[in-house]
Amino acid sequence: MKIFISFLIVVSLIILTHSQSTEECGKRLGCFTFPTNCKNSECTFIYKWGSLMSNTSHQFVLAAKIEDPNLINSAWIGIGFSTDPLMGNDDVIICKNTPAEKSVQHLFNFGKFTPSLLDSRRPDLGISDPRVITNNNFIICSLTREKSIPGVENYFDLNKKFHVLAALGQVGPSGELIQHILKLPSQNPIDFTSETIAISTSDGVKVKAHASFMIISWMILATFGMAIARYYKFIFPDVRLFDLKIWFVIHRPIMIVSYILTFIGFFIILADQNWTWVDKSRPTAFAHSIFGIIVIILAFIQIFVAFFRPHQDHSTRYIFNYFHGVNGALLLLLSTVTLFLGSAIRRVNLGTRGIGLMVGWTVWMLVFVLFVEISKNKLTHRQTTLSLNNLQNSAYQNNQKEIESLIKLENIKFVLLGIHILVSIGLAIGLIYMIATEKIF
């Protein structure tokens, strides 16, 4: 018996030592890895299983990469068995790694909240040989799970097929589980009796699409559309298209497309979250969601009010202009804050690069607005002076100087607009590229 126990310990240590290896996936072991087809330590999740020692149990080795060094000693990783790829009604195993506790517990998740122990008297029901260690930036958990225990409610029989739910989260100061930072379900139900290589349902496509739509909408389209409306009404003043001034012909469709992309991006991220709101335990993501929904509401109001835009000569037109302008400025400010928070979300995995890019964008916006505001005020002053000269029948030479000054100011504003277009597109492409090439859940 002692020899057998020693053998199990040796085997467990060997499994732990090779926990970050994917070489046996599909050969001797079943595996669920992310990203799909990743190799060894380049993976974020490496979940492996097999029936190497008994026909009545499975050996599992769970390994998850922790990018944040401050998190690795206060984290949990888990595997869930579910009849579908969604959270709720899941048989869950959680491995905790903290200085005070290294444990493996068997739980059941009835909804989308913190799971409960499957049996409060036996937290490790059906689990034997549990081990939790860290290796470099990986948390590794090995265990043996009985395939089935007849008569125990909600203990899923692994002789049947189930989806795998891989998850990673933080452990609170009192040992409580904080909502997952990362989660990923398998695309199809898994046969645990075979050496299956399971594929994830997503590589963060919805998150990336959401981010891309919002970046295009607010860094490129909205800023250009708003700039045209505030600073470039002087372009082709005598030309009309469909009885509309040229600046308005440019402004309106750009803003409509911007808002459409915003609404699409909003519904995409809701779908990614299974139509639930972000939990408060993820403060950055929660703050991002609150600012985001405010932007959505203000954008909807902006569109709604635009439908009742009074005629230019109407007595209430000044009220519309004031509200439309203030609401637009709020949208620009809050969208920038929302993008800032989005780039800082741990799930997006941009780190200081994303923050740095957003700082650059914010600085440029401040510089751009400052210069075009100065140019706008000077342009208005020159136009007023020119009008007074005409009224007073001033000398031709004075008028000519004012006209030349007006042209110079207009040219400066066009140069600033050109630079803004290049900067906004360049920074937006850079941010989208970083998001597209990162591993996101």
Give yes or no: residues 210 and 192 share one domain: no
pLDDT given for residue 299 in this prediction: 96
Tally of domains within the chain: 2
SS3 content of the chain, % helix, strand, coil (to 5): 50, 20, 30
Q: What is the rounded distance in angstroms from the CA atom of residue 385 to the CA atom of residue 394?
A: 11
Q: Do both 133 and 265 map to the same domain?
A: no
Question: Does 134 lie in the same domain as 62?
Answer: yes
User: In whole angstroms, what is the distance from residue 383 CA to residue 380 CA?
Assistant: 5
Which residues on neighbouring strands pair with residue 128, listed in sequence order? Answer: 144
Q: Which domain holds residue 11?
A: 2-198
Q: Mean pLDDT in runs of 10 for the chain (441 residues)?
A: 46 53 85 84 88 84 87 92 87 94 93 82 94 91 94 93 91 86 84 81 80 96 94 80 87 95 95 78 87 96 91 86 93 95 82 88 93 77 55 51 66 89 95 82 53
Answer with the one of 198, 220, 254 that is the final residue of a domain.
Answer: 198
Separation of alpha carbons 292 and 438, rounded Å: 22
**Cα 52 from chain centre:** 40
157 shares its domain with 8: yes
Residues 316 and 422 in one domain: yes
123 and 214 fall within a common domain:
no
Among 198, 226, 259, identify where a domain stops.
198
Domain boundary among 198, 222, 246: 198
193 with 227, same domain?
Answer: no
Q: Cis before residue 35, ω within 30 degrees of 0?
A: yes
- Shared domain check, 119 and 10: yes
**Domain shared by 411 and 348, yes or no:** yes
Q: Could you tell me the CA-to-CA distances from 372 to 112, 298, 309 in Å, in that order?
A: 49, 25, 26
What CATH number has the domain bearing residue 316?
Answer: 1.20.120
Q: Which two tokens stand for residue 278?
A: 């972000």
Would you say the C-alpha torsion 111, 116, 117, 120 has a positive or negative sign? negative
Q: Are 345 and 249 contained in the same domain?
A: yes
CATH code, domain carrying 54: 2.60.40
CA–CA gap between residue 38 and residue 20 (Å, rounded): 11
Q: What is the pLDDT of residue 380?
A: 64
| pTM, rounded to two decimals | 0.69
**What's the pLDDT score for residue 307?**
87
* Residues 181 and 225 occupy one common structural domain: no
Integer Cα distance of 91 and 109 in angstroms: 7
Per DSSP, the three-state class of 86 is coil
In this structure, the answer to whether residues 193 and 251 fall within a common structural domain is no
User: What CA–CA distance (Å, rounded) separates 428 from 339?
Assistant: 11
Three-point CA angle 169, 174, 176, nearest 5°:
40
